[in-house]
Structure 1
Amino acid sequence: MKLRGRSRWVALAGPLFFVLVLTVGPQALQAADLAWPKWAMTSLATTGGVLLLVARAFMQVRLGSLTEQTTEASKLEIQQDSALKRIIGNNNNFPLVKDVSDRALVGIHAAIPLPHIMHSDLSVEFPTYIPRDLDADLRASLQSKAASGGFFLLVGRAASGKTRCAYEAIRSTFGDWRLCIPPNAESLNLLVEKDVDFTRTVIWLDEMQRFLEPGKLSLETTQRLLLQQNKPVVIVGTIWPDKYSQLRGAGGEDHSEDVRRILELGQRFDVVEFSEAEQARARIVAELDPRISEALNNGPSMRLTENLAAAPELIHRWMQSESPLGGALVTAAVSARILGHPQPMSQDMLLRLTISLLSGEQRATASENWFEQSLQWATLPVRGASAPLSAYADEIGSISGYIASDLLVQYAQNLATHKKFTISKEFGKLLISLSTPDACTLIGLATEGWEDSELSVLAYRFAADSGSHFAATALAGHLESAGDDAEARRHLSNAAEAGYVPAMNLLAINLFRGEAKEEAIGWARHAAATGSASAAGILGVLLYTEGEMEEALIWTKKSLRAGNEVAIKQLPLVLGNITEIEAEILEIIHGGAREGNVAAMQVLGRVFIGEGKIDLGLHWLELATEKGDAVASRILVGHLNARGEYDRALELMQSSADSGDTLSMTMLGMTLKDRGDNDAAFDWLRRAAATNTEISVLVLGIVLWESDRREEARECFRRVKDSQDETVRTLLSEYLSEEGISLSDND
């Protein structure tokens, strides 16, 4: 007799959970820690486990430089000199930290105004600072790096107080140091290239994601700043949690190895909602500063900083707009920013985008100067604080464009997650048609993970046709997944022949998969000869598959010595047995783990567990998990469950699922189902299956079948019946056979 009900589910859940912890097939890797775009998965799923190494290497280096060299050297020198003077002034020096008191300059949100009758001892610019719980640790960490230099990254939502927290920390710790606030990554790269003296300087990178776009801040520049002997430099950056997760690869979007390694160099501090202790301190401060008092009374006290920035009023102005045309203008700017268009946006572009959102009646009845009136409405600050749009100027006396409020962008993104804010494909196409090639590349990246890849492909094609090698390489991946191998190879060949290493890497993969192995290895050698660590790793894998073991190991070691994350993470597959790693390679991994390389921590943990040193292995997996490694988290969850530490395991699954790891979503759903929380269980299982990760779709199907929701279950089974993942095929076949399930359309 077959088991039914809870006993039946318990019998099934154990083996499925184990599969999820250890799954390494293409579809599982897609949703776990590799964070490949959908187009990459289709082309790679047929190549087997070995080429997964190659694909990962390509995907982590494909964010190459987008900046084209100018043809007029003298013009470039003039532009560089002008840029330098804007940053360091005519006296070629930076201001002292303690002398910088311009709120807008450092990126702190404007606050609601002081009442006019208040005494002058309160700052008009800055509300009284409320000490945060993390202040002591942050300032102690800053002080500990005064002699050697370091990198600190504060992660928090828009208007969470992260920038103010960082500002107060450097004023307290490094008041007599200099402060460099580069407007963009190009300026910082230029300063480093010109050998500007950064001794005892804080480099301020507010909204750091702007500095990590393709072709922007390089790993080499970052390391050069941090490794100057006897010339300490401290880098302080801020970033949103979702941007951090995306760039680290946990949020389902593509990322580069350089960006991951830059972020791993930083010591992370999370700035979250106000704790009870912080709220208590705020109530004391409120007796002295009426702005704090008002913020406490105007909304949830745990979001006091958002209330200080007038976020509720700002959102209300947009969503309940007394100016429908102005509201459409703000919607256009917010939508463009969500789609990845860089800020600021020109007035002409905003005009054309806004018109596309107006109804026929609105267009017919709009006054002659409707757009100027709408701009005036949209740029008017709410309560003297932030405005829906802010004007931006490169030079005094002329407006370059407008920037959408990050508070509204964050709000719209949250709405979009729940399908309450949508952007039409027609709007996206219009935006692409109005954008520069570089902007199109960023739009392609931002829309890469969308269910429909049409906008991403269109954006990449426009940029590729304008000469972007990066976009051509990304476009080739989409074309390949659509079955157009010839066109894909044409784009790859053009970019590879121009010397673009990521294109050489993917071309080698493409040729190798197409059995043109000699030509493939030739391109891999050409790429590796440039000194690229990832290319060396790819060449090592290709040689390994062809039986050239000795040379394969040489190239793999070269990649490892350079700290290549791909080589470290995929080392067990290359060498065959994770417990038989030779001493030299193990020392490289151990060194990487000690230096904070997350991939090295994960692999080292697996090595120790394989050797039977369970506690030591779990220690390294814990460290990797704390830094956001989803695979380490899943392995750790498996061991915690085996030890009976169910609450800790659930906490880890929840954290990884919240960060976007699909397999963790599935594992969490199964755990909640086992605990009887069916509604929450199905919510997580459906979210995981919506990513089209086949093992997650299969698990949802099994849970639906066990819950007697047979037609929904059959639909899930049909989605994965032709899977190229052997694990998924085997599990599905065995389950269908055991249950006597037919997927025939006639049943």
Structure 2
Amino acid sequence: MAENEISGGSLGNVVQAREVHQLTINASAETAIPRYLRYPARWPLASGWDALSSGVHKARPGGDGSRIPPYVPRDMDAALRERIARGGLVLVVGDSTAGKTRAAFEAIRTVFPGHRVLAPPIGSSLRHAPDAVERSGLSSVVWLDNLEKYLVPDGLEPEVLADFTQLRTPVVATMRLKAYETFTDEHDSGTGSQVLRAAEIFDLHRLWSDAELSRAAGCGDSRILDALAHHALFGVAEYLAAGPALLQEWRRARSINGHARGAALVAAAVDLARTGLRAPWPRTLLAELHEHHLAAAGGAVLRPESLDAAFAWASRIRYGVTSLLLPAQDDAGGEGWGPFDYLVDQTDSEIPSQAWEAALVHASDDTDLLAISKNAFDAAPQVAERALRPLAVSGLRTSAFNLGFLLNRQGREAEARQWWTVAADRGLGRAALRLALLAARDGALTESREWCMRAISYGPTHISDKATELLNAL
């Protein structure tokens, strides 16, 4: 008999046999777990957590070359830290560069210095995250900067949040104000809005209070003192991140002998971001879409630079902080681009039809379509309908409900009822309640009672309560 010996290294599946006629090897459980969850001991300790890796915006370099200025306490710090210590989902909401991430980062480091920080990569599944925390036995806190990017299928769904809460694992997150408003529209009954209803919200204002300005004046950092000189127009954190300076440069560039093509590229990127399509995007897409902005600004009269020169100008680092266009690799490992988010938040012009169409064409999955449908719901209803239909057909009950809401708002009640019925048949209480109300309006009391009973059984509590009230009134 032959003997085999293996030394050193590690093994996965090993088969030793003289003959193999049929063989099935099932993947180990570990391979189903996302890589970021496999080694909890490598998650950073909060006490040594790096501010830039948490998502804090870079500031203008200090005299010592530092990229992060000293922290100036905000008025809400004490309340934020006390609430974070009690667990659950705590969300800091505010404009881009208002200081959300820095305030939450400092709160986590102060309240949980010995905790491991679980910061899932954007786009990764969170389904196994509670189990990973529980198996690790480590005290942990979950960090979700830009929460809207995690309110997607297989992301921070209500069940995942409930598991974290049961484990007494705090979840701390930030969210830009525009994104928050999108997810809390009255028509939105998706899992994202359900998660936000469970959150404790802290609003952080862009402009600083007198008390905050007073504390800033005593910090001694030249960058902060410079920002104080501009506080009448801008927030201190906003100025430190160079947001106003980059916005002004972008707007000035749309002129003769400026950087008209570069400014148009940035405008195209800002529009795409506002549609909900996730960055990064290929150079070819921005090159295609920018022509609309360039023509609207004056076209050849502006003496626009070459495309290569335009990308070089838009991607140049300003003030040692950031650039108008941010380079990144796309999913295929190629060159990709996205805009500085401050520019997105400061733009409220109408999104051109070319951008909406490009967003629909380049949507890569349900996550993109969901985001596009939310952003287009009021601004471009026909686009929202095109984004919602495939989601509703695929079985997403909240998308079916929202499609019904959209159609009903356009006077297409018969179609709306069909999609609300689809959503209700898939167990969505809000859809069943809507159908109960319509049946009651039409005098179909037996049908209304049936829908009420279904709404009561589906929940959640606030829907069940409303359905019970209607049922008692019939």
Q: Find out whether 1:402 has 2:344 as its counterpart.
A: no
Going from structure 1 to structure 2, the CA distance change for 1:425 and 1:574 (only over 3 Å counts) comes to same
SS of residue in 2 equivalent to 1:282: helix
> C-alpha deviations, 1:449-491, integer Å up to 9, x for none?
12x5233334446x469967566775566567667789889xx
SS of residue in 2 equivalent to 1:403: strand
Q: Offset at 1:260?
A: 3.3
Letter in 2 for 1:189: R
Letter in 1 for 2:62: L
Once superposed, what is the RMSD of the aligned Cα atoms? 3.8
Question: In structure 2, what is the equivalent of residue 242 of structure 1?
Answer: 178
Q: TM-score, normalised by structure 2?
A: 0.79
Going from structure 1 to structure 2, the CA distance change for 1:77 and 1:342 (only over 3 Å counts) comes to farther
Structure 1 counterpart of 2:421, from 487, 497, 506: 506
Residues 177-576 of structure 1 aligned to structure 2 (within 5 Å): 177-184=115-122, 186-192=124-130, 197=136, 199-213=138-152, 216-228=155-167, 232-249=168-185, 254-256=187-189, 258-272=191-205, 273-285=207-219, 288-300=220-232, 303-321=235-253, 322-359=258-295, 361-362=299-300, 370-393=306-329, 398-399=333-334, 401-412=336-347, 416=348, 421-436=349-364, 438=366, 439-450=368-379, 453-460=381-388, 463=390, 503=419, 505-507=420-422, 526-528=425-427, 532-534=428-430, 545-547=444-446, 555=454, 557-559=456-458, 562-569=459-466, 571-576=468-473
Question: In structure 1, what is the equivalent of residue 80 of structure 2?
Answer: 138
Letter in 1 for 2:211: A
Q: Offset at 1:198?
A: 6.9
For residues 447 and 400 of structure 2, the distance between their equivalents in structure 1, rounded to whole angstroms, comes to: 32
Q: TM-score, normalised by structure 1?
A: 0.52
For residues 371 and 327 of structure 1, the distance between their equivalents in structure 2, rounded to whole angstroms, comes to: 11
Q: Offset at 1:431?
A: 3.7
Q: Is the 8 A contact 1:279 1:301 kept in 2?
A: no
For residues 215 and 188 of structure 1, the distance between their equivalents in structure 2, rounded to whole angstroms, comes to: 6
SS of residue in 2 equivalent to 1:449: helix
Q: Is the 8 A contact 2:435 2:448 kept in 1?
A: no
SS of residue in 2 equivalent to 1:428: helix
Structure 2 residue ranges without an equivalent (≥5)? 1-24
Q: Is the 8 A contact 1:198 1:233 kept in 2?
A: no
Q: Is the 8 A contact 2:325 2:338 kept in 1?
A: yes
Structure 2 counterpart of 1:109, from 57, 63, 68: 57
SS of residue in 2 equivalent to 1:95: coil
Structure 1 counterpart of 2:66, from 99, 117, 124: 124
SS of residue in 2 equivalent to 1:189: coil
Between 539-548 and 341-350, the greater mean CA deviation after superposition: 539-548
Q: Is the 8 A contact 2:37 2:129 kept in 1?
A: no
Q: Is the 8 A contact 1:345 1:403 kept in 2?
A: yes
Q: Higher helix proportion, which one?
A: 1
For residues 401 and 114 of structure 1, the distance between their equivalents in structure 2, rounded to whole angstroms, comes to: 30
Between 289-298 and 471-480, the greater mean CA deviation after superposition: 471-480
- Quick one: percent identity of the two aligned structures? 26
Question: In structure 1, what is the equivalent of residue 45 of structure 2?
Answer: 96
SS of residue in 2 equivalent to 1:387: coil
Q: Find out whether 1:153 has 2:91 as its counterpart.
A: yes
Q: Offset at 1:549?
A: 8.9
> C-alpha deviations, 1:543-600, integer Å up to 9, x for none?
98543798777545434xx4333333454333229xxxxxxxxxxxxxxxxxxxxxxx
Going from structure 1 to structure 2, the CA distance change for 1:433 and 1:423 (only over 3 Å counts) comes to same
Q: Offset at 1:102?
A: 4.3
Q: Is the 8 A contact 2:234 2:244 kept in 1?
A: no
> C-alpha deviations, 1:190-223, integer Å up to 9, x for none?
4246665474211111111122246642111111
Q: Is the 8 A contact 1:540 1:555 kept in 2?
A: no
Structure 2 counterpart of 1:173, from 91, 94, 111: 111
Structure 1 residue ranges without an equivalent (≥5)? 1-72, 493-502, 509-523, 578-747
For residues 134 and 486 of structure 1, the distance between their equivalents in structure 2, rounded to whole angstroms, comes to: 49
Residues 22-41 of structure 1 aligned to structure 2 (within 5 Å): none
Going from structure 1 to structure 2, the CA distance change for 1:426 and 1:398 (only over 3 Å counts) comes to closer
For residues 312 and 365 of structure 1, the distance between their equivalents in structure 2, rounded to whole angstroms, comes to: 26
SS of residue in 2 equivalent to 1:274: coil
Question: In structure 2, what is the equivalent of residue 641 of structure 1?
Answer: none
How many pairs were matched up? Answer: 437
Going from structure 1 to structure 2, the CA distance change for 1:570 and 1:388 (only over 3 Å counts) comes to farther
Residues 14-53 of structure 1 aligned to structure 2 (within 5 Å): none
Letter in 1 for 2:465: I
Greater RCO between the two (CA within 8 Å, min separation 6)? 1
Question: In structure 1, what is the equivalent of residue 6 of structure 2?
Answer: none
For residues 564 and 257 of structure 1, the distance between their equivalents in structure 2, rounded to whole angstroms, comes to: 16
Going from structure 1 to structure 2, the CA distance change for 1:307 and 1:553 (only over 3 Å counts) comes to closer
> C-alpha deviations, 1:47-88, integer Å up to 9, x for none?
xxxxxxxxxxxxxxxxxxxxxxxxxx989989855xx32x24
> C-alpha deviations, 1:311-336, integer Å up to 9, x for none?
12110121112311111110000011
